[in-house]
């Protein structure tokens, strides 16, 4: 009985020690969401906060757009994936805190690319990831990471008519096995709830 009680105390202590860092980082994520007024980004997932739009304008495809818009963007343990989407503007992400995050970029010429946003430079991670306009991309928080807070700039500015969210079977076929990680199952996971029936 004494051994059982001792074993129970040891197990409980280990569980509590492991839970403490997770609870602290989850609390930090909640604090950031609250302080920066981040809200859930529909369809793409993650958390978004609008910072602003440049006062400078440029003519793009016959219409006047701000040369840049800026946002906070955050992935957390409960929302670890930014689902597949296509953007017309260039999209540059800068890691502020947390991470790492894998970026899966699908270029118009059919070339896939995986870049890791993070602070472990020796491991090949980078604090800034620049995705050219006209690419598809999805983001995934590393397993074990609690959150990643980023700032992103879109140039020219983001407009709802210059983004496409989700894809279907034709897209999956196009990129399947284009990289070792580009399995049909993984590509489908990156599309998530935005699967388009074709």
**Which residue numbers in the chain have pLDDT < 50?**
1-21
Put the strands of the sheet holding 69-76 in their side by side order: 39-40, 47-53, 69-76, 147-155, 90-98, 128-131
pLDDT at 148: 98
* Total-model pTM: 0.86
Strands 57-60 and 63-66: antiparallel
pLDDT at 22: 55
List the helix and strand counts (H, then E) for the chain. 3, 13
For residue 48, the Cα-to-chain-centroid distance in whole angstroms is: 11
DSSP-based three-state secondary structure for 127: coil
pLDDT at 25: 63
What are the structure tokens assigned to 44, written together? 């793409």
Query: DSSP per residue over 137-194, as a string?
Result: EEEEEPTT--EEEEEEEEES---GGGEEE---HHHHHHHTTSSTT--HHHHHHHHGGG
pLDDT at 70: 98
Per the CATH hierarchy, to which homologous superfamily does domain 39-194 belong?
Jelly Rolls (2.60.120.10)
pLDDT at 24: 60
Whole-number mean pLDDT of the chain? 90
Dump pLDDT digits (tens) for 21-61. 456 668 999 999 999 999 999 999 999 999 999 999 999 98
d(CA 46, CA 82): 6
């Amino acid at each position: 009985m004494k051994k059982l009680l001792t074993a129970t105390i040891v197990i409980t202590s280990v569980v509590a020690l492991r839970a403490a860092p997770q609870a602290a980082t989850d609390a930090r994520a909640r604090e950031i969401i609250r302080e920066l007024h981040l809200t859930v980004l529909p369809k793409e997932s993650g958390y978004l906060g609008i910072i602003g739009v440049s006062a400078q304008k440029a003519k793009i495809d016959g219409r006047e757009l701000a040369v840049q818009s800026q946002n906070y963007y955050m992935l957390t343990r409960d929302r670890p994936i930014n689902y597949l989407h296509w953007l017309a503007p260039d999209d540059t992400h800068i890691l502020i805190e947390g991470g790492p995050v894998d970026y899966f970029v699908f270029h118009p010429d059919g070339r896939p690319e995986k870049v890791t946003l993070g602070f472990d430079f020796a491991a090949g991670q980078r604090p800034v990831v620049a995705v050219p306009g006209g690419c598809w991309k999805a983001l995934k928080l590393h397993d074990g990471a609690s959150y990643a807070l980023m700032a992103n700039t879109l140039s020219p500015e983001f407009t709802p008519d210059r983004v496409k969210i989700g894809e279907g079977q034709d897209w999956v076929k196009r990129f399947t096995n284009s990289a070792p990680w580009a399995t049909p199952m993984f590509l489908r996971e990156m599309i998530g709830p935005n699967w388009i029936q074709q």
